[in-house]
Amino acid sequence: MTYMGKEANKPMYLNIAEPLFEEIAKKEKFYSKELMEKILNQGSVKNLKEVSQKWQKIFQIAHELHWSTHVKMQAAFQKYTDNAVSKTINLPANATIDDVKNAYLLAYKLGCKGITIYRSGSKAQQVLNIGEEIRPLPKEKVSPQLLNPSPELPDVSPNTCLVC
C-alpha cells in the first residue's frame, strides 16, 4: 500500500508493505524482490500469478472489500462497545448515490452509532493511494499549505474549523 506523507516538509509517497505477508512469502518460498516491487507498484497482491488464491484472499486490502463488509466489521465491534466506534467505509470511485444511502441504512440497521464514508478520488488529494510508485509528488499535485508550511500556523486542512 502507498501512503502520502511529509518528510522534512517535503511531500512524497511512502510505500509500506505488510510484514506478515513478506514472512509468509519467504516461508512458503514464493518471495522475491521482484514480487515485492510488483506489490508495491500495484498496491495489492490481487491477480498476481506468483501469489496463490489462498494468500490473495487473506491479504485483501480495504479497497478490495465490498462496502457492506466494512459496515459489518464495524457493527460487530460496535456491538460490544458502549462508545461509538470510528471506521472508514471505503467506497470505490464509481460508487453510486444508492451505495452511499445503502451503507448508511445498513449501518443503522446493524446498530452502528455512526459511520464515515469515503469515496476514492472524491478529493483532489487523498492520504491512501493504491499502486503508486515511490517518488516525490509533482508540485502541481501538492497543496500550497504542504509546499510552504508555516510553523506559526496550525497543521489543518483548508476550511476546517479550528475550534471543533
Query: Are both 138 and 102 inside the same structural domain?
Result: no
In the numeric block, the cell 502507498 is attached to 2
Q: Are 129 and 2 in contact (CB under 8 A)?
A: yes
Q: Give the mean pLDDT of 129-155.
A: 54
Domain annotation covers residue 157: no
Cβ neighbors of 60 (< 8 A, separation 6 or more) are: 44, 46
Confidence of residue 135 (pLDDT cuts 50, 70, 90): very low
Domain limits at 108? Answer: 65-119
pTM exceeds 0.75, yes or no: no
pLDDT of 110 higher than 90: yes
Domain annotation covers residue 155: no
Query: Are both 72 and 53 inside the same structural domain?
Result: no
Determine the 3-state secondary structure of 108 from DSSP. Answer: helix
Domain annotation covers residue 161: no
Q: Where do the H-state alpha helices sit in 2-78? A: 19-27, 33-42, 53-58, 67-78
pLDDT confidence of residue 72: 95
Q: Give the mean pLDDT of 85-107.
A: 89
